[in-house]
Amino acid sequence: LTVRSEKVTKSEISEVLIGGLAVSVTVEILGILAYYGQSGTFNFDYSPQWQMTGQNFFAYAVKLLSSVAIASPTALMALGIVLLMMTSYARVFTTVLYFLFGKNLIYTVISLFVFLLLTIALIVH
Amino acid sequence: MDILLILLLSAPIGFLGALTGLGGGSILVPVLVALGVPVKYAIAASMVSIIATSSGSGAASVKQGISNVKAGMYLAIYTVIGAVIGATLAGYADQRLLDFAFAGFLMTSFLGLRNHFREELPSARTQDNLARRLQLEGAYYDRALKKDVQYKLSRPLLAGGGMLIAGLAAGLLGIGAGAFKVSVQEHVLRMPAKVSSTTSNFIIGMTALAGASVYFASGFLYIGLAAPMAVGTAVGALVGGRTINRLTNKTIKVVFLITVTYLIVQMLYNGVAG
């Protein structure tokens, strides 16, 4: 990568991070406020409605997004967490793309390998 | 459990995590357990908050050009593999033994950094062939020193081995293992402290994502814990990421050593108390 394109790469990675973080934190805050508005308390317990689990993270995320119109406060908070995790995932993908467009073969392969490792970790359990 | 209390506690921990490169998980877990949160739930939620710390501080430091993205991606290969193996083995490991092992693990970082306490920037070293091929070098403007700092890294294979151990510990203990990562980067790669802290935060997000996926599948991830922790640590980390370049490397090392000392005592206590 040239010095200029490397600066662009870093700027894009930074924007993915800050954008994803801002959206996920906003959704989580909305969820917390909606929960307070609905229940009048900030207390929670360890019942299944507060649990976030599944065998395939992407399947869980799609299911959550498809039901977002009828979202409960806990679903909104869960969506914020999903977006946060996807931000970290998207950052690696952005890095792959920019090393690819920068024609840096070594780092395209390295970042692609990390991306594939994370994809497998999120899918296979 | 109170969502607001967790949010307020998480913000200063996110700040400290960003400043030291520790990720904050090592500090959050004992605090939550002390509040009565079951340890596995605390660890799972902490993994999510580590991603927030990493994203918050990483956004600021990557843009400022302090983080070394190439070194971060190269080292992430080892930490992600380590985290997946570690998280898979976590179900079989004895927690007390792990507490002792991790205390020893942190002591190595503590003693190593103490020897370099007076060193503002690492002394120059000849770069080996592999490091040159991997383009492991960088430059950044240091606001505290008011000058451009150029550096070259070396011994990437040895550093990779160290990062594999760090990833393994992260997966096993549910923490970012930032202390060890920072130590490996400073001692083996000869990375300047600021670059090391910010690059560690950059890597920790990827390591934590791999670990969080395992805890998600295990059913230990609770929204009421993870959501406020993510919000609190994200805000703290954003402030920490913007503060780091105003401090000298020595100040960062002092903060790091104080935090690591606390963590060693905490881990030893956990091991003894069971």
How distant is the Cα of B125 from the closest Cα of chain A, in angstroms?
23
First to last CA, chain A: 37
What confidence tens digit (pLDDT) does each residue in B42-61 have?
888 888 888 887 777 666 66
Mean pLDDT of chain A: 85
* B163–chain A Cβ distance below 8 A for any pair: no
The ipTM, to two decimals, is 0.87
Q: Which residues of B touch A45 (CB under 8 A)?
A: 1, 224
The answer to whether residue B34 neighbours chain A at the CB level (below 8 Å) is no
Cα separation values, B45 from A61, A67, A101, B99, B152, Å: 17, 23, 36, 19, 37
Is the whole-model pTM more than 0.95? no
Q: Between chains, do A85 and B230 touch, taking CB under 8 Å as contact?
A: no
Looking at chain A, the number of H-run helices and the number of E-run strands are 4, 0
Tell if the CB–CB gap between A95 and B73 is shorter than 8 Å.
Answer: yes
Q: Which residue has the higher pLDDT, B265 or A62?
A: A62
pLDDT for B110 = 63
Q: Rounded to a whole number, what is the distance in Å from the CA of A77 to chain B's nearest CA?
A: 6
> Is residue B79 within 8 Å of residue B170, measured between CB atoms?
yes
Q: How far is B62 from chain A (nearest CA, A)?
A: 6
CB B221 to CB A53 under 8 A? yes
Give me the residue from B69, B212, B223 closest to A13, CB to CB.
B69
Q: What is the pLDDT along chain A (125 residues), one digit of tens a residue?
A: 455 555 556 666 777 778 888 899 999 999 999 999 999 999 998 998 899 988 899 999 998 888 766 678 999 999 999 999 998 898 899 889 888 988 899 999 999 999 999 999 898 76
Phi-psi sector, B101: left (phi>0), alpha (psi -120 to 50), beta:
alpha
